[in-house]
Amino acid sequence: MGMGVGWSIGANDAANSLGAAVGSRVLTLKRAILLISIFGFLGATLQGSHVTKTIGKGIVPINSLDKALATYIAVVACFAACAWLVIATRWKMPVSTSHSIVGAVAGAGVAVHAPVKWKILGDIFICWICTPLGAAILGYIFCIIFQNVFQLIIPTRYIRKVLTALIIASGCYVAYSWGANDVANSTGVMAGAGILSPRISTILGGLAILVGIITWGYKVIETVGSEITNLLPIMAFSAQLASAVNVHVYTLFGIPVSTSHSIVGAIVGVGLVRGSKVLNLNIMKDMVLCWMATPFISGIISFVTLKGIIFFIKTP
């Protein structure tokens, strides 16, 4: 099931890295998927362990529970998170895989009366709110700065080439930071339950994410790349850099945040440089509703599923 979550993460979150580059027509969809696959896997395997510890035992102390119970929690949480992510991806909605797995782990913990660390959940929730806001502010600031800087120091005939290189580089940075932060969402609970070692879990999670990117990643890329606002190259670069910096900071502190929220917030921020009228408020409203629903839906699925399993086990 952890590999299933990894696949659904790759399918839903591939857009967070180079969706803006595709939307600004700097990269083709196929080239974007190739770069996302390479750098997302590198981030997962090189720095994925930071957030894996939080998901694995920071919300519910899975490592201290009975082995069988810990396994049930891990499998059910992965199933619940995967189910919701597949539904959201089918709708082309960029939702938070972090919110989904965190909600699922908490729901499973409540179902078996395990000690849920509500204070840590509260801290994570605050970071969830700060993520899109911080990315929007950074995106707005970066866009204004780079617009002025490029006009001053780069000859007009070279601006397009320079921007193309910067968009690709910043998109690869987003892919790396996304892989580092989100791989924990796929196999972190497996590591916490002792089913896999942290190292093996990050490698397998990275591979599963890679398969998700290749097979279904194009769906949400279309939404992020072109349906929120019409992205100019300077906007795409500013949004990707803002999102990458934002997520990478949280990753270093081991906090599971949403790369989806980060890139969408950054795109909104750069869009506001041109005025609110350029933003697609209808698609943004649908996104926000899905964001709010994500931890609760995955938590409910996890809670009901685990309760059902326990009921059938106890029934003679």
| Per-residue pLDDT, 210 | 73
Other C-beta atoms within 10 Å of 281: how many? 10
CB 16 within 8 A of CB 239: no
Q: Which ranges of the chain would DSSP assign to H, the alpha helix?
A: 2-13, 15-23, 29-47, 49-53, 67-90, 97-111, 118-153, 156-192, 198-216, 218-222, 233-252, 259-273, 281-314
User: CA-to-CA distance for 194 and 202, rounded, in angstroms?
Assistant: 13
pLDDT exceeds cutoff 90 at 140: yes
User: CA-to-CA distance for 61 and 66, rounded, in angstroms?
Assistant: 11
Q: 3-17, 212-226, 279-293 — which one is most confidently predicted on average?
A: 279-293
pLDDT exceeds cutoff 70 at 58: no
HSE, CB side, 13 Å, CA atoms: give it for residue 22.
27
* Residue 59 DSSP class: S
Name which residue leads in pLDDT, 76 or 66.
76
CB 298 within 8 A of CB 95: no
pLDDT exceeds cutoff 60 at 188: no
| Per-residue pLDDT, 49 | 61
| Per-residue pLDDT, 143 | 93
* Residue 253 DSSP class: T
255's CB contacts (< 8 A; 6+ apart) are 51, 54, 123, 124, 127
| Per-residue pLDDT, 221 | 63
CB 3 within 8 A of CB 186: yes
Instruction: Report CA 315 to chain centroid distance, whole Å.
Output: 39
CB 128 within 8 A of CB 99: yes
pLDDT exceeds cutoff 90 at 182: no
User: CA-to-CA distance for 301 and 314, rounded, in angstroms?
Assistant: 20
Tens-digit pLDDT profile for residues 38-54? 887 888 778 766 555 55
User: CA-to-CA distance for 174 and 4, rounded, in angstroms?
Assistant: 22
Per-residue confidence at 194, pLDDT binned at 50, 70, 90? low
Q: Which amino acid is at 136?
A: A
User: CA-to-CA distance for 217 and 89, rounded, in angstroms?
Assistant: 9
Tens-digit pLDDT profile for residues 162-181? 888 998 998 898 888 777 77
